[in-house]
Amino acid sequence: MKYGYFDDRNREYVITNPRTPWPWINYLGNEDFFSLISNTAGGYSFYKDAKFRRLTRYRYNNVPMDCGGKYFYIKDNDTIWSPGWKPCKTELDQYECRHGMNYTILKGVKEEVTAEVLYFVPLKTWAEIQKLTLTNNSSHPKQLKLFSFVEWCLWNAASDMENFQRNFSTGEVEIEGSVIYHKTEYKERRDHYSYYSVNTPVQGFDTDRETFFGLYNGFEEPQVVSEGMPRFSEAHGWSPIASHYLEVELQPGESKDFIFVLGYVENHAEEKWESKNIINKDKAKETIARFDTSVKVDTALAELRQYWDNLLGVFTVDSGDDKLDRMVNIWNQYQCMITFCFSRSASYFESGIGRGMGFRDSNQDLIGFVHQIPERARERIIDIASTQFPDGGCYHQYQPLTKRGNNEVGGGFNDDPLWLILGTTCYIKETADFGILDELVPFDNNPAIARSLFHHLTVSFDHVVNNLGPHGLPLIGRADWNDCLNLNCFSNDPNESFQTTENKTEGSKAESVMIAGLFVVYGREYVALCRKIGKSQEADRAQTQIDLMVESIKNNGWDGEWFIRAYDFYGAKVGSKENEEAKIFIESQGWCTMAGIGQQEGQCIKALDSVKQLLDCEHGIVLNHPAFTKYYVEYGEISTYPAGYKENAGIFCHNNPWIVIGETEAGNGNRAWDYYRKICPSYLESISDLHKTEPYVYAQMIAGKDAFRPGEAKNSWLTGTASWNFYAVTQYILGIRPDYDGLIIDPCIPQDWKSFKVSRQFRGATYQVTVDNPHGRMKGVKKIVVDGKTVLSNLIPLFMDGKSHDVMVVL
Ligand code: BGC
Ligand code: NOJ
């Protein structure tokens, strides 16, 4: 069953039934100020950091689901309703939610009144704008009572949920005209406040939550709304909120706009106050004035649309398959921007409290984002590298506000350093900005021990070389990409987290074949980069290490039909036919086939065939097989999950594109495509009831074949699945791949594709690529004609002339 439809022309997903199988959300803002918003107006806002600068409160995992948001209540005589259906849940005559590129429009129609709310964060603005349009469609005048509602969070989202003995006494607000200011803790150490305004005089307000709702009522029935009378409450402690009250008269056919601004301000310490205890409101007033008319708001929205037109204009495909085109041209790229901004912090599955920016995650997110805004990717690379240690190891996460490494989680994930080579080389291939390699970048955020970014790459490479185990394979450390394969944990205490508990790495023989494959792939990238910048000795040195690693994998990482996954603490095989459960894992098949290890010996093809045979299922490729059915103390968290979920034989979508790429390396376009399509959300729209999460974005996990309900997705939005699928489909299936000296064209497609077109802006020129497949091939470029001239290589040269160039390709 479907709950809406794609409107590709407007780049929107339009939800027509509010009772989606799970809240289907969107993100507003893409730089400093952010909001999450669901299809029924749930969600919250924050400035930069979802933990330390949480502006509005949210209730996770509640009953009902998705409680708290940016709500409007309309009282039309005795009918009380909300434009987004919730929180009132009054049946609407019509409901529509349009999730677009960083904006959402909720529309409700009830008793001949239309209420449409446009929510967005304008570019370069620390505020969310809500433009509410009320229209009277009836033939008689309407007297409506309108109440807005947001609930302030006391800034630190974690302590907001636990330290009530303090919080219930600290809340403070100021009310001036139509603006409600939230200033809790401003008088002590905070130099920031937030505000909620409307661009017209109000007839009342409330700022105390219990007064507004009544202690025993829920979001759906605030007492003041039922009574149709605000109480002008001023919050002192307890739970501050902001609610405006407006009396609206509409003649037949008349429409009125109301512009609400929910904003955030930071003041210099010396400019904090206007007078004793009265906050300096200048900056808030400036922002409010920037958006005080509908024309100004519409202009800001048009700017936002233009911004997205530009971003999405860099890569477009015309394949003739709408489902593919809308993913590649719109939603997959949009999701890449969102994961770039948030890493794994704030979604409807990540609380925004626990996790900052991941070292490996952010590097991988870059590969789907770098073509959009390379300057921001550059800044991110420097931030990430600054949290590295001099020996190449690194903090696993850092906090976006402070950009400091997160001590609670610490380091020791031995795959982490290698992803910096991926992020950096992708960036340079896109931009040719080799200068970034000379940037001085701190270690451990300490500028006194800064070295060039290139040096950071060298120590990243060497961190693997310096940490090899008994089989010549990389020691796994705390864990590799699979956070839950904890080979050094041995945890028997349910009160400790696998992610942070002390590891027994002393004397451990635990090695990772996945890191080995990863090392070969990104080691080669490191070598290519060294050669490119004339460091041939370093390239030779590195190449020797890579050759040794290839041999170690062939000798000690091969199980006969597939690559083993690891060696455990004691040196026993993990992911081998010798094991009782989890005989095969996806990660090592992905990385070793991408590295082409044992290609001549037929190992790659065998490994890929084993994936097909043992890991593939109707809904995608599962992580391991058979699933673990009991807890293995020597494997850790992976075996805690019920069979078929998460890292225990779930379809962990992040790694499926690794196999897609492996298949394209092997030339099997049919299979690559089949795998791509299986987890691609636009192809799953019609099974939304089963799939549950949004049909416009990838989820981290789809329940695998051993699960109770195979095909059910969880953890949508913030997942490396976004960037990896974009990377796989654009660079390996469609085969348009940036390289240092030009654009490589090397598609690997299903046999029955006849042709497709791609437009790619790259280094100051636009490449209009048409690929024809008259002979039903899967791979292999037979002929390329550029601007009418046949070229002999599939590396299309750089033009850098601001013009458009025709590239005709025949397979
Ligand atoms: C999850 C992983 C996640 C890790 C770190 C685990 O419980 O299964 O997917 O990466 O926690 O937060
Ligand atoms: C999610 C984490 O964000 C990522 O870093 C990890 O690689 C995967 N889970 C697999 O465990």
Q: What is the pLDDT of residues 143-172, one digit of tens each?
A: 999 999 999 999 999 999 999 999 999 999
CA of 355 to the centre of ligand 1 (A): 10
Please tell me the predicted confidence (pLDDT) of residue 400.
80
Chain segment 594-618, per-residue pLDDT in tens = 999 999 999 999 999 999 999 999 9
Q: What is the pLDDT of residues 458-506, one digit of tens each?
A: 999 999 999 999 999 999 999 999 999 999 999 999 999 999 998 998 8
- 267-306 b/e with 16+ CB inside 10 Å = b? beeeebeeeeeebbbebbbebbebbbebebbeebbeebbe
Burial of 471 (C-beta count, 10 Å sphere; 0-12/13-18/19+): middle
Nearest ligand, CA 641? 1
**Does residue 499's CB lie within 6 angstroms of at least one atom of ligand 1?**
yes
Cα(498) to ligand 1 centroid in Å equals 9
Nearest to 102 by CA among 11, 203, 209, 6: 11
Annotated catalytic residue, options 208, 416, 480, 483 = 483
Which is the closest atom of ligand 2 to the Cα of 343?
3
Mean pLDDT over 85-108 rounds to: 98
Q: Phi and psi dihedrals of 202, rounded to 5?
A: -100, 160
Q: What is the pLDDT of residue 399?
A: 83
| 797 residue type, one letter | P
pLDDT the model gives residue 409: 86
Ligand 1 proximity of 76 Cβ (cutoff 6 Å): no
pTM of this prediction?
0.98
Q: In what order do the strands lie in the sheet with 783-786?
A: 315-318, 755-762, 765-772, 804-810, 783-786, 789-791
Average pLDDT taken over every residue of the chain: 97
Ligand 2 contact via 416 beta carbon (within 6 Å) = no
Tens-digit pLDDT profile for residues 733-768: 999 999 999 999 999 999 999 999 999 999 999 999
Q: Which of 470, 434, 484 is nearest to 652 (CA)?
A: 484
Strands 240-250 and 204-208: antiparallel
Find the 371 Cα to ligand 2 centroid distance in Å.
Answer: 24
For residues 327-341, average pLDDT: 97
Query: What are the φ/ψ torsions at residue 775 (nearest 5 degrees)?
Result: -105, 15
What are phi and psi for residue 550, nearest 5 degrees? Answer: -60, -45
Q: How far is the CA of 607 from the centre of ligand 2 (A)?
A: 23
Nearest alpha carbon, ligand 1 atom 10: 483
Taking alpha carbons only, the member of 154, 146, 149, 145 closest to residue 41 is 149
Ligand 1 atom closest to 647 (CA): 8
Q: Say which ligand is closest to the CA of 483.
A: 2
**Cβ of 511 less than 6 Å from ligand 1:** no
- Quick one: what percent of the chain has pLDDT higher than 70? 100
User: Does the structure show a pLDDT above 90 at 359?
Assistant: yes
Query: Which numbered ligand comes closest to the C-alpha of 358?
Result: 2
Which pLDDT tens digit goes with each residue over 548-590? 999 999 999 999 999 999 999 999 999 999 999 999 999 999 9
Q: Output the CA–CA distances (angstroms, integers) from residue 771 to 110, 680, 748, 768, 793, in the order listed.
A: 51, 23, 11, 10, 15
Of the chain, the end-to-end C-alpha distance in Å amounts to 39
Q: Which of 654, 656, 716, 724 to mutate to test the pocket of ligand 2 (most atoms within 8 A of CB)?
A: 654
Say whether pLDDT at 100 is over 90. yes
Instruction: Quote the percentage of the chain above a pLDDT of 90.
Output: 97
Ligand 1 neighbourhood includes 479 CB (under 6 angstroms): no
- pLDDT bin (cut points 50, 70, 90) of residue 773 is very high
Centre of ligand 1 from the C-alpha of residue 385, in Å: 22
Q: What are phi and psi of 151, to 5 degrees?
A: -115, 125
Report residue 809 as tokens.
């390709």
User: Residue 704: pLDDT above 90?
Assistant: yes
- Does 480 sit in the ligand 1 pocket, CB within 6 Å? no
Ligand having the closest approach to the CA of 646: 1
Between the CA of 484 and the centroid of ligand 1 the distance, in Å, is 7
* Ligand 1 contact, 715 CB (< 6 A): no
In angstroms, rounded to a whole number, what is the distance separating the alpha carbons of residues 274 and 282? 9
Q: Is 361 in the pocket of ligand 2 (CB under 6 A)?
A: yes
pLDDT tens track for 247-263: 999 999 999 999 999 99
pLDDT number for residue 401: 81
* pLDDT of 729: 98
pLDDT at residue 408 in the model:
83
The ligand 1 atom nearest the CA atom of 646: 8
CB of 587 closer than 6 A to ligand 2?
Answer: no
Please say whether the beta carbons of 225 and 73 come within 8 A.
yes
Q: Is the pLDDT of residue 43 over 90?
A: yes
What are 60-84's pLDDT values in tens digits?
A: 999 999 999 999 999 999 999 999 9
The pLDDT value recorded for residue 685 is 98
Mutate to test the pocket of ligand 1, among 365, 483, 654 (most ligand atoms within 8 A of CB): 483
pLDDT of residue 355: 75
Q: Which ligand is nearest to the CA of 409?
A: 1
646: Cβ below 6 Å to ligand 1?
yes
Q: Is the CB of 569 under 6 A from ligand 2?
A: no
pLDDT of 182 reads: 98
Ligand 1 mean position to 377 CA, how many Å? Answer: 25
Please, which pLDDT band fits residue 407 given cuts at 50, 70 and 90? confident
Rounded Cα distance between 157 and 411, Å, is 25
Determine the pLDDT at residue 406. 85
Instruction: Tell which one of 355, 357, 484 to mutate to probe ligand 1, the residue whose CB is within 8 A of the most ligand atoms.
Output: 484
C-alpha 16 – ligand 1 centre gap (Å): 34
Q: Which atom of ligand 1 is nearest to the CA of 499?
A: 5
Q: Please say if 321 is a catalytic residue.
A: no
- Nearest atom in ligand 2 to 479's CA: 11
State the CB neighbour count (10 A cutoff) for residue 63. 6
Q: Which two tokens stand for residue 639?
A: 């075996």
